[in-house]
Amino acid sequence: MPRRFLTALDVQRAGQGEIVLEADTVVTPQARELAASLGVALRGPGGDHVVPAPDRGPDALRSSQAPPLPEPEDRGDGRTGVIVTVIGRNRPGILAEVTAALARLSVNVDDISQKMVDQYFHLVLLVSLPPEGSFDEFKTTLECMGGPEAYAVRVMNERVFRFMHRV
């Protein structure tokens, strides 16, 4: 009989020997502990029992097989970039600092726009990360640049802007 769960009570009933489980049976922590203390072996269909990946149910399976929902228009080349915005008080060299950091991380600048309003500037860069690059390192490096008195850097995925401003 297939079982969804193995509980401590099930182990207690077995008492000894081994219990053979289905591939997707979830073993409760109490059952595992009791089995270990009683010396009951837990076996899967192909040998030792391994913790199964969560079975998310039939709808999840159908969702994963369905074609993805249409997304708002993209750049046409199938790529998703990252938008870096830099906002702050102007002084010479900020663009150089930001692009130097991008160069160190092997990040390519696809597009760039900069505007001045009074003494403040905003810089918008559309960049592509190298496939092997770490997003975390990229984000941390950039967002730690500048400072409260200088400028602030924000990193956001291009898809956010696409979802918000395109249909």
The residue (of 28 and 99) whose beta carbon lies closer to other proteins is 28
The residue (of 43 and 56) whose beta carbon lies closer to other proteins is 56
Taking residues 15 to 54 in sequence order and writing x for each that binds other proteins by CB under 8 A, - otherwise, the string is -----------xxxxxx----------------------x
Under the binding rule (CB under 8 A), the answer on residue 62 touching other proteins is yes
Choices 14-22, 41-49, 94-102, 133-141; region in contact with other proteins by CB under 8 A: 133-141
Q: Measuring CA to CA, which residue among 62, 108, 116, 113 is closest to residue 89?
A: 116
Counting residues that bind other proteins (by CB under 8 A) gives 49
Which helix (H) or strand (E) covers residue 151, if one does?
strand 151-157
C-alpha distances (whole Å) from 78 to each of 60, 71, 136 are 25, 11, 22
The residue (of 105 and 112) whose beta carbon lies closer to other proteins is 112
**The residue to which tokens 């726009």 are assigned:** 113
Query: Are the CB atoms for 25 and 6 separated by under 8 Å?
Result: yes
Give the footprint of other proteins on residues 138-167 (CB under 8 A).
Answer: 139, 152, 154-165
Q: Measuring CA to CA, which residue among 126, 129, 122 is closest to residue 152?
A: 122
**The residue to which tokens 């409260």 are assigned:** 148
| Rounded Cα distance, 30 and 4, in Å | 15
| Rounded Cα distance, 54 and 158, in Å | 31
Under the binding rule (CB under 8 A), the answer on residue 58 touching other proteins is yes
Residue 139: CB minimum distance to other proteins, A: 6
| Footprint on this chain of other proteins (rule: CB under 8 A) | 4-5, 7-9, 26-31, 54-60, 62-64, 69, 75, 83, 85, 87, 111-113, 115, 122, 124, 126, 135-136, 139, 152, 154-165
